Amino acid sequence: MEDDFIPVRLSVNGVPHRLFVEPRRTLLDMLREDLELTGTNAGCEHGSCGACTVLLDGQSVRACLLLAVQANGHEVTTVEGLAQHGRMHPLQEAFWEKQALQCGFCTPGMLMTAYELLQQNPDPTEEEIRSALSGNLCRCTGYQHIVEAIRLAAQRLREGAEAATSSGTTA
Amino acid sequence: MTTTVSERAWIGKDLKRREDPALLMGTVTYINDFKIAGMLHAAVLRSPYAHARIRAIDTSAARALPGVQAVLTGKEAAEVIGPVPAFCAEPVVEHAIAVEKVRYAGEAVVAVAAESRALAEDALDLVEIDWEPLPAVTDALSAMQPGAPLVHENLGTNVVYDHVFTFGDVDGDFARADHVIRRRLRWPRATAAPLEPNGAVCAYDPARDTMEIWSNTNMLNSASWVMSSMLKIPPHKLNFYPMYTGGSFGSKHFLAKVIGIAGALSKVTGRPVKFMEDRLDNLMANDSQGPERLYEAELAVTKDGQFLSLRLRTIDDYGAYFIFAITGNTNMMAQITGPYTIRSVETGIKAVLTNKNQQTVFRGAGSDVGNWVLERLVDAAAEQLGIDRVEIRRRNFIQPDQFPYKIPTGNVYDSGNYPGVLDLALGHFDLDAWRQQQAQARQEGRYLGIGLATAQQRSTYSSTEFWFHNPAPATGLNSTPESVRISVGPTGGVTVTMFSPFWGNSPETVVAQVVAEELGIDPRDVNVTYDSTAHALPSAGPGGSRMTVMLAGAVHGAAARLKEKIFKIAAHMLEASVSDLELVGGQVRVKGVPSSSVSLADIGMRAYWFKLDLPPELESGLEGTFTYDHPYTTKPHDDRKDLGVFYPIMGHAAHLVAVEVDIETGAVRFKKYVAVHDVGTVLNPRSLQGQIRGGIAQGIGLALLEEVRYGPDGQNLTSTFVDYLLPSASDVPAIEVYHHETPSPFTAYGVKGGGEGGRMVAPPAVTSAIEDALRPFGISIDEMPITPEKIVRWVKEAQSRHQRQTN
């Protein structure tokens, strides 16, 4: 088994990569160990805590439950891909303002889940947010500040989109 | 102390946390992210049996696997490391890797270091063990029976500690009572389960006999000398580096086992070794399970509802080891009589060993249990005497003019305003409206319940609680200092150095706010950093809701020392007298003459690089260090009739909760949750609200969901997050949090610690609400978690009782 390294080509946060991995290597281990993208955390490694949530072609997945080889030919987005040119994404800004984190360990997974939610539903209700987050465990915050942060980010993103439309520019 | 509330520029402000940007962008280094050149990875083989003797271990195939650098059995590890450090007086010995026999399912038996974690785990599959399974004992009551299998043969019993503490005239007060309220109560075994498991990287240098240790342990300074005996390296040759910690809640105090395993493997390989627990490791063997207690509880009450005395007998299941002795029970003696004027108390403690992972501490550290037990009794007294639950509490509150107030155990409460907190909570809840809704709902066949808890949240531990349960002349530690260093650099930049790690709270934000307050600068301009133990000043680290109090005191003291030198240099530069100077906005100026001023940058440059222009008695450099000791603690009396002052910085909270219980499904839905907390002066309201809401979420988890369960054979049935249920976003409601501020007379700025309060008060409030909802069925709730299955069963039982009676 140890001799069967398999080539994987993928794009992570817009950067193309080609590497050779063991068939058993998880996407999580490949991101953290091979690509040194340690923002994505390992909380349970059996798919129940959501700390390792990343996007695969825009859809949230548990990086601990996916094999690296399954990401071959796909685009992966991790928490490191949210900020642009050192500027935090509006979700990150809102999490900061609302103190939607304490130890920060679940936060990257929360952000990626919230990012996907706002792509699909730009104006979610509190109940829709809580439902979307139900697969992401947080042991510190009690979730309320996270819910508030996502609502705030949603509002700002909507206002930003409206402003962009009304001024005739493209986002 | 130095400033009044109205003058404060930064204390009490909702500043965004400075810890957050790195956490949000994924750029912090948690222990699992840490790498060092040449580092090997460890994995641990765990016992499949709860109780078994190890006859023989064959590791030859594991050793032969390419890439494996070391395989250690417990016996082999014991040649390079000693036992896990323990704080108990009793001879209960634990090893990081079990020697001769295992005492719980999941105990470490073999550790491997290999070039990768996956390889190390492959090697574990090749280990052969010849086991002699022994009968396991998995509940405290069976463990106490004569002839029960012994967890530790050398003790001759599983009852490792048994003592009754009496404070005041308990028998007399019970004889004088008109009523004795009795309840048999059961508190479930829970566990902290932070999302980040425990880990360590140990790098042994055989040439110098030194070891560098990176770990998410919370008690770095204590760790050095405590772990020296285990690692068999002198304390001054150990250097612990603080790491960002992904949550602790009491579960990461020492982490001796992960450090012992990585340390032993590093010693035998001569290479750095990382051991990172996975979730299974953590839930089976983290040594941080909470109390599991059975109580016989009695409250002596007069006919008009005055509480006279409290009598408790507990049997507490400590699991297989006893490293913190009965800390969870001594802790609750700090506030055992709650916010009430109960004048005598007796508490009998039987600590029992069983074949489970051991109990240490979990947010609340036993005082969470005490609150629940007392509030259960108070609710029962109200019901039995026909007095309103709010009214009976009011009649027994310690009044604001009675502080400082000494409780029967000897601990002192510094300050408080319990009627004020309750009034604020009632003002936000609208009890009358909820009672009307409740009556209306009952007519419709729906069950609303209103819950109330008024309870204490002690903060700022002193270390006598670790040993005062032993009879005199036994003594132990009695200091818990915390230190900081504030440096002003040659260009005026201010850096604060801490010697305890970030563990999920807001130490950097707190420190920046306080230093900004003291130096009149903007907290965003302050740099905050950490240093390793080799360079550290005395610092006990986080635990027992102490860090905000202790860091505020340390910064306050260090700033005073720093300002003394700043003013001396400035006076020299301005040719003025120190008493004529003031520090405003980063400038030292002559009072009333704003044009005559020098900046911190001017003073810094002078201090570092212009020695000949300094006052001659001053040395170069510009820094202030301060070690802040516990503000108020005393030793226990030799007769232990008075335990001394050991947890005097006393917070308080009132929670009011409305729930609806579906008696068909057993589901509990929160309709309203109001929490008012008084933890003295508030440093950062939003950050405190986060602590409170997060604590309440854990309390709700305990009340409704969480329990570490073992099968009759001692198998851990809750070793994954699929089985050990943490509350999710759908389980925790929005919680209204309000602050009431009664400053402490003993601490800097009057702050008290608030880190544990939410979890310490939510369980009795939620239990009270569900019991109130089920009142038509006459159900009294004596245990947690209150699962849907139990609610449905209790209601069915009550209905069939009712039917039998009417037939």
Confirm whether A53 is domain-assigned. yes
Measured from the Cβ of residue B783, the count of other Cβ atoms closer than 10 Å reads 14
CB pairs under 8 A between A and B: 168
Residue B7, in any domain of the structure:
no
Identify the pLDDT of residue B6: 55
Domains held by chain B: number: 3
pLDDT at A171: 38
Domain boundary residue, one of B599, B628, B657 = B628
Structural domain range at position A73: 6-81
A164: pLDDT confidence band, cut at 50, 70 and 90?
Answer: confident
B537-554 CB burial, b ≥16 within 10 A, e <16: bebbbbbbbbbbbbbbbb
Res B718: pLDDT = 97
Task: Please indicate, yes or no, whether residues B331 and B348 belong to a single structural domain of this protein.
Answer: yes
Question: What integer pLDDT is reported at residue B546 of this predicted model?
Answer: 94
Question: Which of A106-110, B540-544, B706-710 has the weakest average pLDDT?
Answer: B540-544
Identify all chain B residues contacting A105, using CB atoms and an 8 Å cutoff: 30, 194-196, 246-247
Cβ atoms of A112 and A79 closer than 8 Å: yes
Mean pLDDT (chain B) is 96
Same domain (yes/no): B601, B491: yes
**B346 and B485 part of one domain:** no
User: Which residue is closest to B28 within chain A, CA to CA?
Assistant: A39
B33 near A CB under 8 A: yes
Calculate the average pLDDT of chain A: 95
Cα B130 to chain centroid, rounded: 39
Using CA atoms, how far apart are residues B519 and B442, in angstroms rounded to an integer?
60
Q: Which residues of B touch A24 (CB under 8 A)?
A: 118
For residue A168, the model assigns a pLDDT of 55
Q: Judge contact between B738 and B676, C-beta under 8 A.
A: yes
How confident is the model over A6-11, as a mean pLDDT?
97
A139 closest CB neighbour out of B29, B193, B503: B193
Mean pLDDT value of segment B768-785: 97
Helix ranges, B287-430 (H): 327-332, 367-385, 389-396, 418-429
Whether the complex's predicted ipTM is more than 0.90 is answered with yes
The pLDDT of residue B18 is above 60: yes
Q: How far apart are CA B648 and CA B680, in angstroms?
A: 12
CATH number for the domain spanning B585: value is 3.30.365.10
- Provide the pLDDT for residue B219: 84
With 60 as the cut, is the pLDDT of residue B162 above it? yes
Closest Cβ–Cβ partner in A97, A111, A145 for B690: A145
> Is the same domain home to A95 and A161?
yes
Q: How many domains does chain A have?
A: 2
Is A94 in the same domain as A76? no
One domain for residues B316 and B379: yes
Calculate the CA A160 to chain-centre distance. 21
Q: Can you tell me the mean pLDDT for A116-132?
A: 98
* pLDDT tens by residue, B131-161: 999 999 999 999 999 999 999 999 999 999 9
Chain B contacts of A51, Cβ < 8 Å?
195
Measured between beta carbons, the chain B residues lying within 8 angstroms of A135 are: 728
* A32-88 pLDDT per residue, tens: 999 999 999 999 999 999 999 999 999 999 999 999 999 999 999 999 999 999 899
Question: What is the Cα–Cα distance from B99 to B151, expressed in whole angstroms?
Answer: 14
Q: What is the pLDDT of residue B365?
A: 96
Q: Token digits for B271?
A: 């290479």
Q: Examine the domain organization and report whether A65 and A109 are in the same domain.
A: no
Do B269 and B140 sit in the same domain of this protein? no
How far is A79 from A100, CA to CA, in rounded Å? 16
Q: In terms of domains, do B313 and B352 share one?
A: yes
Looking at B363, B398, B433, the residue that finishes a domain is B398
Domain with B360 in it = 136-187+291-398
Q: Determine the Cα–Cα distance for residues A100 and A96; give it in Å rounded to an integer.
A: 7
Q: Look at phi and psi of residue B122 and say left if phi exceeds 0, alpha if psi is from -120 to 50, else beta.
A: alpha
Q: Is residue B295 part of a domain?
A: yes
Provide the pLDDT for residue B474. Answer: 81
Q: Verify that B109 and B255 share a domain, yes or no.
A: yes
pLDDT score for B593 = 87
pLDDT surpasses 60 at B3: no
In angstroms, rounded to a whole number, what is the distance separating the alpha carbons of residues A78 and A82? 7
**Mean pLDDT (whole number) for B230-253:** 95
Q: What is the CATH number of the domain that holds B51?
A: 3.90.1170.50
Residue A1 within a domain: no
Residue B585 has pLDDT above 90, yes or no: no
Q: Do B609 and B487 have their domain in common?
A: yes
Same-domain status, B124 and B219: yes
CB contact under 8 A, B33 and A38: yes
In B, which residues are within 8 Å of A125 by CB distance?
Answer: none
Q: Is residue B636 part of a domain?
A: no
Token pair, residue B485, equals 């260093």
Instruction: Answer with the one of B398, B415, B448 that is the final residue of a domain.
Output: B398
> Distance (Å, rounded) from C-alpha A150 to C-alpha A127?
12
Cα separations (Å) of B108 from B4, B112, B280, B636, B752? Answer: 55, 11, 12, 38, 40
Can you give the CATH number for the domain in which A161 is found?
Answer: 1.10.150.120
3-state secondary structure of B44: strand
What's the pLDDT score for residue B475? 84
What's the confidence (pLDDT) of residue B78? 98
Same-domain pairing of A94 and A71: no
Establish if A171 belongs to a structural domain.
Answer: no
Whether B793 is covered by a domain: the verdict is no
For strands B101-102 and B52-58, give the pairing. Answer: antiparallel
Q: What is d(CA B607, CA B601) in angstroms, rounded to the nearest whole number?
A: 10
Read off the pLDDT band of B223 (50, 70, 90): confident
* Whether residues B534 and B623 fall in one domain: yes
Whether B158 and B217 map to the same domain: the answer is no
Tens of pLDDT, residue by residue over B85-134, are 999 999 999 999 999 999 999 999 999 999 999 999 999 999 999 999 99
Report yes or no: B519 and B529 within 8 Å, Cβ to Cβ. Answer: no
Contact assignment for A99 to B30 by CB distance below 8 Å: no
The answer on B165 and B175 residing in a single domain is yes
The confidence band for B2, taking pLDDT boundaries of 50, 70 and 90, is very low
B319 found inside a domain: yes
